[in-house]
Chains A and B, each alone.
Chain A
Amino acid sequence: MALLNIRWQQLHDVYRQHHDWLQGWLRKKTGNSWDAADIAHDTFVRIMHHNKLAQLGTEPRALLVHIAKGLVIDHWRHQQVERAYQETLAQLPPGSWPSAEEQHLILESLRQIDRLLQTMPAQTRAIFLLAQLDGLTYQQIADQLDMSLITVKRHMRKAYLACLSL
C-alpha cells in the first residue's frame, strides 16, 4: 500500500508537470489534437504498466518523448495495416472472405510481419516475401527474377538479420 502510494504520487507529479507539454509536442508532430491527447495518455499508461517510473530520472521529458514516438509510429502503422487490409478485402468477392476468426488472426499476423519488414530495403523485402508467403524455393526466385542463386541467398541472409536486429 505504501509503495503503491509512492508510485502514484510520483506518476501524479510527473503527469501534472509534463502532461500538457507532451500533448503540445505531440500536437505539433501529428497535427491532430485528438491523436495527441490519446497518445499522451497512452504514454503515461505505458510508464505505469512497464514500471518505468524509476527510469524517468532528472530529465523525464526525454523518456516521455521516447515512448510517445514509439506509440505514434505504432499507431500510424496499425492504421495503415488495417487500411491496406480493408482495401484488399474490398477487391475480393465477399464469398471468398476469410471467416471471422481467420480475419482476426490474419490482421494480428500482418501487424507482426509489418514490424519485421520495417528495416528491410525494398528488393530484400520482395525476395523475402516471395520465399515466405508465395512459398517459392530460392532457385525459383532466382529464375523468376533472373538473378543468381547466391544473390537470392544474400538477400535472404540480410532479411533474416534485419528481423533479428529488431
Chain B
Amino acid sequence: MISNTTQTLDPQVLTQAVDWLLKLQTEAANPATQAAFEHWQSSHPQHAEAWSRLTQIEHTFGQVQRKALAKQVLTRMDHASRRHALKKLGTLGLILPSAWLGYRALPLTRWQAEYQTAVGEQKHLHLGDGTHLVLNTDSAVDIQYREQRQIVLHQGEVWLETGHQDKRKLVVITPHGELVPLGTRFNVKLTAERTILAVTEGEVRIQLDNGQSSVVQAGQQRAFNRHGLEQTRRAEQHVGYWQQGMLLAQEMPLETLLKELARYRHGVIRCHPDLRQMVVSGAFPLNDTDAALDLLQKTLPVRVLIPSRYWIMVEPANTAG
C-alpha cells in the first residue's frame, strides 16, 4: 500500500532519498557507502520518512505476481487520459483513498457458512474469490462453495460485488428464483412477496423455476417472484448506499423513507395518512435512527410522537394533542 500520511516532506529530502536508492542499486556493496547511507537515514526523521515511502513504492512493484501480465495491461492503458480528464474537469482533483476497513477475509474453497445480522446491524464479508458481500440489517445468507458458488439469501438484503475470477458459476438464490451475475455489482432485497434486484454495474440474469429468464443491465432494477417478472425500471439512486450507514433521500415520499428507517430498528413507525406523499430530501443516519427521526422533526412540518420505544408516530406538526 502507498502511504496516506499527509506529512509534507521537503522536496530536497525526497531527491536525496532517490539519489541514495539509485546509488545503492547500481554500486557494488561497500561498507563505507552503507555507513554513509545509514548515517543519512538516521540523521533526521524526514530522511527516515522519505526512505520509508520509497521502500513502499519498491514494495508495490516487488509484490506484483505475474509481472508480465501486469506489464501488458499497463502498456494497454491510455496514460494520458488522466491528464485529459483533469483538463476536462477544470483544476486538479484530489484522489482520496477508499475507506475499505474492517473486512473479514474468508477462505476460498469448499466451505459453507451461515451469516446473520441483527436489526440495525450490517456485516461485510470478503470472500476468497474476490467477491465482496455486505449484509444489511436483519438479514441471513448461506454461502456454499462447491461445484458452483452459491449464495442463498433467506431474509433481508445483500449487496454484492463479484470477483471475475473463480471459474465456477456464481448463483444467488432466493425463494423466488436464481440470479446469475456476469462480473458485476448489484443489490438483492428480499421481501415476503418478491425479490428486488438492482444492478449498478455489469449484468445479472434472472432465472425462474418456470423457465422464464431475463437479463437486467446496469442502472436497471427488476422485481420478481416464483410466478413471473415485473416490468424493468430505472434503478433507484440510493441502491446500495445503506452500506455506508447513511440513507440519502432525493425527493422520496415520507412514507417510503419511514419504511426504510423502520427496517433498522425494532418496533413500528406509523406515518400519518396526510403525510405519506410529502417529499423529503436529505441525509439520514441509519446507525442512529433516533437522530434520523429528530432530523425529520427539525426540517419538516412534522411531529414525531414516541409513546414507547417500539411505537412511533409521525404526524403533521399542527395537529393538536
Seen from chain A, the residues whose Cβ lies within 8 Å of a Cβ on chain B are: 1, 4-5, 8-9, 11-12, 15-16, 19-20, 29, 34, 37-38, 41, 44-46, 48-50, 66-67, 69-74, 76-77, 80-81, 84-89, 92, 98-106, 109-110, 112-118, 120, 122, 125, 129, 132-135, 138, 153, 156-157, 160-161, 163-166
| Residues of the B chain whose Cβ atoms lie less than 8 Å from the Cβ of A104 | 129-130, 163, 165
* Complex contact B61–A73 (CB within 8 A): no
- In the complex the two chains form, what is the Cα distance from A4 to B286 in whole Å? 12
Closest CB in chain B relative to A119 CB, distance in Å: 8
| Residues of the A chain whose Cβ atoms lie less than 8 Å from the Cβ of B209 | none
Which of the residues A101, A117, A118 comes within 8 Å of B128, measured between beta carbons? A101
* Complex contact A112–B26 (CB within 8 A): no
* Complex contact B60–A161 (CB within 8 A): no
Which of the residues B79, B81, B94, B281 comes within 8 Å of A76, measured between beta carbons? B81
* Complex contact A102–B66 (CB within 8 A): yes
Which of the residues B93, B237, B246 comes within 8 Å of A66, measured between beta carbons? B93
* Complex contact A84–B19 (CB within 8 A): no
- In the complex the two chains form, what is the Cα distance from A37 to B298 in whole Å? 26
* Complex contact A84–B77 (CB within 8 A): yes
Most A C-beta atoms less than 10 A away, residue of B14, B21, B89, B241: B89
User: What does DSSP make chain A's interface, helix, strand, loop or mixed?
Assistant: helix
Check if B102 is an interface residue, CB within 8 A of chain A: no
* Complex contact A12–B2 (CB within 8 A): no
Closest CB in chain A relative to B249 CB, distance in Å: 9
Interface residues of B in 189-247 (CB under 8 A from A): 200, 218-219, 237-238, 241, 244, 246
Say yes or no: A88-B281 contact (C-beta < 8 A), given A100-B129, A100-B163, A164-B50: no
Nearest-CB residue, chain B, relative to A52: B96
Nearest-CB residue, chain B, relative to A109: B64
Q: Which one of B133-141, B288-296, B302-310 contacts A?
A: B288-296
* Complex contact A69–B61 (CB within 8 A): no
* Complex contact B88–A157 (CB within 8 A): no
- In the complex the two chains form, what is the Cα distance from A137 to B82 in whole Å? 29
| Residues of the B chain whose Cβ atoms lie less than 8 Å from the Cβ of A98 | 65-66, 69
* Complex contact A110–B163 (CB within 8 A): no
Say yes or no: A100-B128 contact (C-beta < 8 A), given A70-B95, A109-B63: yes
The count of chain B contact residues (Cβ–Cβ below 8 Å) is 82
| Residues of the B chain whose Cβ atoms lie less than 8 Å from the Cβ of A76 | 81, 85
Check if B15 is an interface residue, CB within 8 A of chain A: yes
Say yes or no: A129-B85 contact (C-beta < 8 A), given A44-B248, A69-B90, A100-B130: no
Can you add 16 more A-B contacts, CB < 8 Å, to A4-B288, A104-B165, A118-B82?
A4-B285, A8-B285, A15-B282, A41-B238, A41-B241, A45-B244, A70-B94, A72-B93, A80-B81, A88-B73, A98-B65, A106-B70, A115-B2, A117-B79, A118-B79, A161-B15
Nearest-CB residue, chain B, relative to A98: B66
Nearest-CB residue, chain A, relative to B294: A5
- In the complex the two chains form, what is the Cα distance from A122 to B79 in whole Å? 8
| Residues of the B chain whose Cβ atoms lie less than 8 Å from the Cβ of A48 | 244, 246, 283
- In the complex the two chains form, what is the Cα distance from A124 to B189 in whole Å? 49
Nearest-CB residue, chain B, relative to A29: B89
Nearest-CB residue, chain A, relative to B89: A69
Check if B146 is an interface residue, CB within 8 A of chain A: no
Which of the residues A73, A80, A160 comes within 8 Å of B89, measured between beta carbons? A73
Closest CB in chain A relative to B85 CB, distance in Å: 5
| Residues of the B chain whose Cβ atoms lie less than 8 Å from the Cβ of A15 | 248, 281-283
Which of the residues A4, A74, A110, A134 comes within 8 Å of B73, measured between beta carbons? A110
Nearest-CB residue, chain A, relative to B71: A133
* Complex contact B71–A129 (CB within 8 A): yes
Nearest-CB residue, chain A, relative to B219: A34
| Residues of the A chain whose Cβ atoms lie less than 8 Å from the Cβ of B99 | 49-50
- In the complex the two chains form, what is the Cα distance from A84 to B298 in whole Å? 49
